[in-house]
Amino acid sequence: EAGVVQSPRYKIIEKKQPVAFWCNPISGHNTLYWYLQNLGQGPELLIRYENEEAVDDSQLPKDRFSAERLKGVDSTLKIQPAELGDSAVYLCASSLRVGQGAYEQYFGPGTRLTVT
């Protein structure tokens, strides 16, 4: 079974440029998460989707970040314009949630963004 796929794995851009990250979750997983991981820190949730609905985007900086999950499958996270402080690893995870409870989240390898 294929895991969570993310692309690109690495991205270097100049500040003020736009950038997009793509995530394909595990087949059949209805829930998709985007996390931000700063160097030496644990991941922090940016946004969570249940199917195609963003059910928790309270930590997403909406002035420059946007995300979409069309058709409830793969997802794109965009930053426009990028700032130096956005340099980090962006992780995508997915899970199969049925009702309430704790469900294992499967993580992709991440996209390492460097803003110069």
Partner 1 sequence: AQSVTQLGSHVSVSEGALVLLRCNYSSSVPPYLFWYVQYPNQGLQLLLKYTTGATLVKGINGFEAEFKKSETSFHLTKPSAHMSDAAEYFCAVHGSSNTGKLIFGQGTTLQVKP
Kindly tell me which residue out of 33, 34, 65, 90 binds partner 1, with binding defined by CB under 8 A: 33
For residue 21, what are the β-bridge partners?
Answer: 77
Task: Report in angstroms how near the CB of residue 26 gets to partner 1 at its nearest.
Answer: 12
Kindly tell me which residue out of 2, 28, 40, 53 binds partner 1, with binding defined by CB under 8 A: 40
Task: Report in angstroms how near the CB of residue 45 gets to partner 1 at its nearest.
Answer: 5
Stretch near partner 1 under the rule CB under 8 A, chosen from 20-28, 64-72, 79-87, 93-101 = 93-101
Sequence-separated (6 or more) residues with CB below 8 Å from residue 74:
22, 23, 24, 25
Q: Is 30 in the site for partner 1 (CB under 8 A)?
A: no
Task: Report in angstroms how near the CB of residue 54 gets to partner 1 at its nearest.
Answer: 13
Q: Is 109 in the site for partner 1 (CB under 8 A)?
A: yes
> Which residues form the interface with partner 1 (CB under 8 A)?
3-4, 31, 33, 40-45, 48, 56, 91, 93, 95, 97, 100-110, 112
